[in-house]
Amino acid sequence: MELTKRWRWLGIEFLVIALGVFSALAVDTWVEDRQNAKKEAIYRERLKADLERDVANMDAIIDYFRSVSAHGLMTLADLDGVKPLDDFQLMFAAFNAAEEWPFRTESSTYNDLQSTGGLSLLSDVQFRIDLADYHRVTETRQHLWDLPRVYRETARGIIPNKLQVAIHEACDASSGENPLSGPLSAIETSSAELEAATDPYTSPATAEGFCGLNPEDFELSRAVAEFRSNPDVARQLRFRVSEINVAIALFKGQRALANELLLRLAESD
């Protein structure tokens, strides 16, 4: 009888201890889950901000590259003898056809998640996979977004420095833009100029209002003669315009991926 009571008390003590352990583990798990949920919410907000900035940058870059391409086509129309430009128009268009906008995705949050092992905090496994693909695709396409520079080097080596400086100053080009988040130079043209530039083979080009510059302030005949007689310029520019159009298409695809990730973040809030 005494032995039975002893075993009974031992069994009760074991149950009390086991319940205490399990309760402590449950509380710890609950606390950890709440902490992880808070961390996930913070990371999701940071990812949202990064993706929204990517989309805004890509919207701006697409418009910017369209303008660069348009100036390239205007320049080619002159070089091909289809739509001749005056000296100032040609040099201005040739300068803007060489513009650049280096692009990098906002990856600080994703890199933080990777380096700290925090990707597991994102409860949606498929979202984690798609987020990784988004950044992987960016890296693989970087060489296509960084445009070939050979035309830029040729054109900027011919266009007089006086005009280049004037364009930078008049178009507010060298205003301290971060080269990782903004254009290296600004293109400022009126709607009429852009309309002419987008269809350079049929529309008349005009230099009026090109950042308010006065064509009479520049002596460009020697530079224009060198530019037109250079046997490599047209080929280099034609390749550059082609690469710009590829970059625009890829930016559109990347923007669609970013918008899809944003939509999924919003749906799961």
pLDDT in tens, 91-116: 999 999 999 888 888 888 889 888 88
What mean pLDDT value characterizes the chain? 80
Q: How confident is the model at residue 150 (pLDDT cuts 50, 70, 90)?
A: very high
Q: 158 — phi, psi (to 5°)?
A: -105, -40
Kindly state the average pLDDT of the residues 53-59.
92
Q: What is the pLDDT of residue 148?
A: 82
Tell which wins on pLDDT, 153 or 205.
153
Q: Is the predicted pLDDT of residue 202 greater than 50, yes or no? A: no
pLDDT in tens, 253-268: 999 999 999 999 988 7
pLDDT in tens, 27-42: 556 555 567 678 888 8
DSSP track, 238-257: HHHHHHHHHHHHHHHHHHHH
Interhelix angle 125-145/233-267, rounded to 10 degrees, is 170
Q: Is the predicted pLDDT of residue 170 greater than 80, yes or no? A: yes
Residue 206: CB partners within 8 Å, gap ≥ 6? 89, 192, 193, 196
Contact (Cβ atoms closer than 8 angstroms) between residue 220 and residue 163: yes
DSSP track, 22-77: HHHHHHHHHHHHHHHHHHHHHHHHHHHHHHHHHHHHHHHHHHHHHHHHHHHHHHHH
Q: State the burial class of residue 181 (Cβ atoms within 10 Å of its Cβ: 0-12, 13-18, 19+).
A: middle
Q: What is the pLDDT of residue 189?
A: 46
